[in-house]
C-alpha cells in the first residue's frame, strides 16, 4: 500500500528583518535576525536564533544552522555549509542540542563558495578560500584555504 509523505513548504516565518533587506525566493528562513542592508540569495536556509549582521550577503544554496552568528559586512559565497554537530557520540546528535556547538563569524569576513565551517570563531578581516574546511578557530586576520584551512598570507 502506498503512503503519502508529509509535505513541508519552504517559508519565511518569525524573522526579524532590518531595513532595506533584499531576499530572493525560494528560501527557508525562520526565527532568525537579519540586519540592515542584507542580501539573501535563493535556496538559502537560515535556522532559528541565527543572527546576520548589517551589510552582509548570503549567496545561493548556503545553509546556516542554529548557533551561528555572522558579523557586519560579511560575504558568504554560494553553497557554504555551517555545521553545529560534530558527531561527538559517533553519529548525529539528533534532538540533543546540548551536543551542538556554536560558530561566531567576525566583521569583514568573506567565505568562498562551497566552504564548510565547523563550530569555530573567526576573527575580523578574514578571507576563507573556496572549498576550504575550517576546523579550528581563526584568531589572526588574513587569507585561509585548504582542507583543513590553513593561513596562506596576510591581506594587503
Catalytic pick among 61, 78, 108, 125 = 78
Q: CA torsion sign, 8 to 12 to 16 to 21?
A: positive
Q: Is the peptide bond before 156 cis (omega within 30 degrees of 0)?
A: no
d(CA 140, CA 131): 20
Beta bridge partners of 40: 23, 58
Beta bridge partners of 82: 117
Residue located via cell numbers 535556522: 47
Residue 3 falls in the annotated catalytic set: no
Beta bridge partners of 104: 69, 121
- Which residues have a catalytic role annotated? 78
Amino acid at each position: 500500500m502506498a503512503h503519502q509523505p508529509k509535505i513541508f513548504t519552504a517559508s519565511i516565518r518569525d524573522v526579524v528583518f532590518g531595513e532595506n533587506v533584499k531576499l530572493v525566493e525560494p528560501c527557508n528562513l525562520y526565527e532568525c535576525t537579519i540586519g540592515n542592508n542584507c542580501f539573501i540569495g535563493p535556496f538559502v536556509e537560515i535556522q532559528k536564533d541565527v543572527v546576520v549582521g548589517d551589510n552582509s550577503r548570503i549567496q545561493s544554496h548556503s545553509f546556516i544552522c542554529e548557533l551561528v552568528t555572522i558579523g557586519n559586512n560579511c560575504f558568504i559565497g554560494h553553497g557554504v555549509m555551517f555545521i553545529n554537530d560534530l558527531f561527538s557520540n559517533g553519529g548525529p546528535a539528533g534532538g540533543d542540542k546540548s551536543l551542538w556547538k556554536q560558530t561566531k563569524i567576525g566583521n569583514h569576513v568573506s567565505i568562498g563558495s562551497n566552504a564548510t565551517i565547523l563550530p569555530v570563531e573567526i576573527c575580523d578581516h578574514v578571507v576563507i578560500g573556496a572549498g576550504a574546511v575550517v576546523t579550528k578557530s581563526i584568531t589572526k586576520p588574513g587569507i585561509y584555504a585548504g582542507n583543513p584551512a590553513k593561513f596562506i598570507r596576510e591581506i594587503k
